[in-house]
Amino acid sequence: MIKGKKIYLRDVERKDIIILYRLFNENIVKRYSIIPNDIQSNDEGANLRKALSILNDKDILIGFITYKESNCHIGVYSIGITIGSSYWGHKYGEDAIKTLLAYLFMKLNAIRVELEVISTNLRAINCYKKCGLIEEVIKRNNVYIDGEYLDTIIMGILREELIYI
């Protein structure tokens, strides 16, 4: 278990799956979701994305957060987060991102952490900026959602830029 200020992160349990599936499949949540393609190898030792459940201070499962070390670069991690829409606006996402960043940089010795976000997801982009991530690259017309092509933004943070610890 990894403790934040308003949330804690723990391994996903079997009982979480149905709730997480329901949260992930809300129309507004799906509108902003990018599914990472982690199936790059059929090897048993493939570096798969690690998922953690996000629980709030009332012990309610509100979403999940993922991380994965790059297959090509040691110490470079990609992350992603999904929180049910009824829990938006409570700073749970900010706390979960900061908590995971601290874990990745301090415990797993990360050098860099990055994520990809749909350019129209201003709520998430603002959250990531509050966590210290910087917009680095725009991938134009990168995803097709609800009948339109949308840009995605790659945001990143380096260990020496971590400001809140």
User: What is the tens place of the pLDDT at every residue in 91-101?
Assistant: 999 999 999 99
Contacts of residue 96, defined as CB under 8 A and 6 or more positions apart, other chains included, come to: 4, 7, 9, 54, 63, 65, 81, 83
The full set of domains in the chain, from first to last, is: 2-36+46-161 (3.40.630.30)
What mean pLDDT, rounded, does the chain reach? 90
Pairing assessment for the beta strands 76-83 and 112-118 based on DSSP bridges:
parallel
Mean pLDDT of 67-77: 94
What is the pLDDT confidence band of residue 164, given thresholds at 50, 70 and 90?
A: low
Q: Among the listed ranges 58-72, 77-91, 150-164, which one has the minimum average pLDDT value?
A: 150-164
Q: Which long-range contacts (CB under 8 A, 24 or more apart) does 141-144 make?
A: 143/34, 143/118
Q: Which amino acid is at 158?
A: L
Q: Among the listed ranges 42-46, 113-117, 152-156, which one has the minimum average pLDDT value?
A: 42-46
pLDDT score for 91:
96
26-42 pLDDT, tens digit each: 988 988 887 655 433 44
> Is pLDDT larger for residue 33 or for residue 155?
155
Mean pLDDT of 51-72: 96
Treating both helix axes as pointing N-terminal to C-terminal, what angle do 92-102 and 122-130 enclose, rounded to 10 degrees? 50
Q: Is the pLDDT of residue 89 over 60?
A: yes
pLDDT score for 75:
96
What percentage of residues in the chain have a pLDDT greater than 90?
79
> Is pLDDT larger for residue 13 or for residue 42?
13
Mean pLDDT of 9-15: 96
